[in-house]
Chain A
């Protein structure tokens, strides 16, 4: 079972990588690309009961996987079956 973590730059932080990619997309004729933001995506294979891991995982999202000064994160826990 996989937990998924999406880390994205905060709105207020300049993302020069995203800006460069947006420009490349426009060069390729895709003018609809108004803004591009580049983040990180992590897949975390979990052992045991996911519900029991969520609190610790959320803590790690905040302390290790993202830097709250410049980034936001979203944690998706696996659906329980």
Chain B
């Protein structure tokens, strides 16, 4: 099984992603430079965090037009698993693969801490086998992570259970005190309607070993691998 980690100029979590993925037994992972135009042969696509194109104009606004993004969009529409963390989430929103946008944190502060997030639905290839209501401890580090969408979009996201993770306190309660960036309805991560594209501000890539403070990020990657194994066995 092979995971592609897309590198944009200014990506800075590409190495974290690759190290986390290569630490998983039996999984292959490698970089794909943003000037490439094909993602054929890869089982899953990772858009890492960082500051693609220096965050100029808007976060993710220029990366969205990189040559590789045509392939990311085509593969996503064809059903391939795509995960975007932090800047990767911003790029997925700018590219229209996920609804809404990420704007400046309400506090105006760059936040860098371990966030607690609650699993909102079991119907996901990214959170397979996790209990609804269970809490994942995942690092966040961003200045523009405040999720925004208009009312109709929010209603739609809730009705279709596309919100996968919400910021919560240590007991799993969704409170405004537990919201690190002002995201609407404490939204930390969402998927698309087809449920094969997942964007989240937290960094599972930085939480794959207990000695880093949490290994909860590994659950997300393991879930993707198990989902792929099941669909490949069925094919």
Binding site for B on A (CB under 8 A): 9, 12-14, 16-17, 20, 40, 64-65, 67, 69-70
| A16 touching B106, Cβ below 8 Å | yes
* Complex Cα spacing A61 to B99, Å: 19
Task: Tell me the smallest distance from the CB of B8 to a CB of chain A, in Å.
Answer: 16
With beta carbons under 8 angstroms apart, the residue of A13, A16, A65, A67 that contacts B94 is A67
A-B contacts, 8 of them at CB < 8 A, read: A14-B182, A16-B105, A16-B182, A17-B104, A67-B58, A69-B101, A69-B149, A69-B150
Main secondary structure of the interface of B (DSSP, over half): loop
**Which B residues touch A13, using CB under 8 A?**
103, 148
Task: Tell me the smallest distance from the CB of A29 to a CB of chain B, in Å.
Answer: 23
| A70 touching B148, Cβ below 8 Å | yes
- Known A13-B148, A64-B61, A64-B65: A69·B108 in contact at CB below 8 Å: no
B107 at the interface (CB under 8 A from A): yes
**Which A residues touch B99, using CB under 8 A?**
69
Residue of A nearest to B150 (CB): A12
| B57 touching A64, Cβ below 8 Å | yes
Per the CB 8 Å criterion, the residue count for chain B at the interface is 21
**Which A residues touch B105, using CB under 8 A?**
16
With beta carbons under 8 angstroms apart, the residue of B62, B101, B106, B108 that contacts A70 is B101
Binding site for A on B (CB under 8 A): 57-58, 61-62, 65, 93-94, 99-101, 103-108, 146, 148-150, 182
**Which A residues touch B149, using CB under 8 A?**
69
Task: Tell me the smallest distance from the CB of B101 to a CB of chain A, in Å.
Answer: 4
**Which A residues touch B108, using CB under 8 A?**
16-17, 20
Q: Give me 6 other A-B pairs in contact (C-beta within 8 A), A9-B103, A17-B108, A69-B100 excluded.
A: A14-B106, A16-B182, A40-B57, A67-B94, A69-B99, A69-B150
**Which B residues touch A64, using CB under 8 A?**
57, 61-62, 65
* Complex Cα spacing A59 to B104, Å: 25
Residue of A nearest to B151 (CB): A12
Residue among A9, A16, A40 with the highest chain B CB neighbour number at 10 A: A16
* Complex Cα spacing A32 to B58, Å: 30
Task: Tell me the smallest distance from the CB of B43 to a CB of chain A, in Å.
Answer: 30
Sorted from nearest, which 5 A-B pairs have the closest CB atoms?
Answer: A69-B101, A70-B101, A16-B108, A16-B106, A67-B101
**Which B residues touch A9, using CB under 8 A?**
103
Residue of A nearest to B64 (CB): A64
* Complex Cα spacing A64 to B65, Å: 9
